[in-house]
A and B are shown apart, each in its own frame.
Chain A
C-alpha cells in the first residue's frame, strides 16, 4: 500500500526541499518506487536541488489540466532508477492545484509507487494545504529557533484539523519531527534550543537531527541530494532518518560536540 508523505514546516528556509530530496532518494535507494512532488507553484526549486532542472518539459499543473499525461511529466532520476520527480509549474498561479486534480494525480501515482513525497511550500496558503491534505505521514522540519518551533506547532494543528484523514475521521496522520540546522556547540553553550527542549514542546516522534553542515550547501550547489554525500555528517543523518522512518532502530548521532584538542578548546572564543 502506497504512503503519501508531506514534508512541511510553516516557516520558510528550514530545509523542506533539502529534506524532501534526501528522503525521496533514500527511500528509492532502498528499492522503493518513489516519486517526489514539488507543490511550490511559481517558486519551483526541487528540480534544482535534484539536479534535473534542464530536463523539465511538463509539470504538475500541466498534468492536472490534462495538457500532458503523468508519464510525460515525470522525470526519472539518473542516479536511481526507482526515483521520479514531478516538478511544479513556474508560471501559473497557486490555484492551478485544485484539490480534485491533486487527488487524481496522487491516486494514479499510488497505483505504481510505494512512496509519494510531497515537498510543501512555506506558509499556510493553498499550496501548503494541498501538499498536506492527502498525507498519510507528515515530517515537520524544524530549526531549533523560536519562530520555527512555533510555526511547526501551528502546522500540527492544521494537520489534525484540515487534512483529509482528519476531516473523514480516519486514523490520524503519523507525525514526525526532523530537527535541522542543529549546532551542538551552540546548544552546549546555552545559546540554542537543544533537542530535548524542542521535543518537550512539540512532543513528536523524532526522525533525525541534521547538524548544521557545509555539505548541505555543497549538495544544493551541485544538484545532488545531500544523502548521496555518504561521507558527510548531514548525509549520514539523513540516512538515519530514512532508516528510522522505515522502522529501523538507530541511535541518534551528531548531538554531541566534536572532541577537539586542548589547544583549540582553550583558544576558540
Chain B
C-alpha cells in the first residue's frame, strides 16, 4: 500500500478487480453446475418433441423450451410449448 492509499480510505479496497472476479465466477460456476447436473438427453428430447408437435401444428424453432431442476429428493422436468395464435392456425 502506498501513501495515496491512505487517503483513498478502506472503501477503495473493495472496489478492486477482485470483487469483479468474484461476481463473475459466482455466476459462471452456478451456470456450469446447472449444466453439469442436467441429463444429457435434454437437447435431443427437445428436438424430438418439437418434431412431433410440428406434425400437427406449425410452430417456431424456439416454441418448445425444456427446463430441468433438481431438488433434494425430486427432479422437475418442465416443458413449455408456445402454440401460435388461433388466427394463425389453419
Contact = CB atoms under 8 A, between A and B. Distances in A.
B11 to A, nearest CB: 10
A-side interface mostly:
helix
Given A157-B33, A189-B1, A193-B22, A150 B28 contact: yes
User: How many of chain B's residues touch chain A, expressed as a range?
Assistant: 20 to 34
A161 B38 CA distance: 12
Interface residues of A, number: 25
A153 B18 contact: no
Interface stretch (A54-62, A239-247, A260-268): A260-268
Interface in B1-60: 1-3, 5, 12-19, 21-22, 24-26, 28-29, 32-33, 36
A146 B24 contact: yes
A190 B9 CA distance: 13
B28 to A, nearest CB: 6
B16 A153 contact: no
Contacts of A265: 1
Interface of B: 1-3, 5, 12-19, 21-22, 24-26, 28-29, 32-33, 36
Interface of A: 145-146, 149-150, 153-154, 157, 161, 185, 187-194, 197, 200-201, 265-269
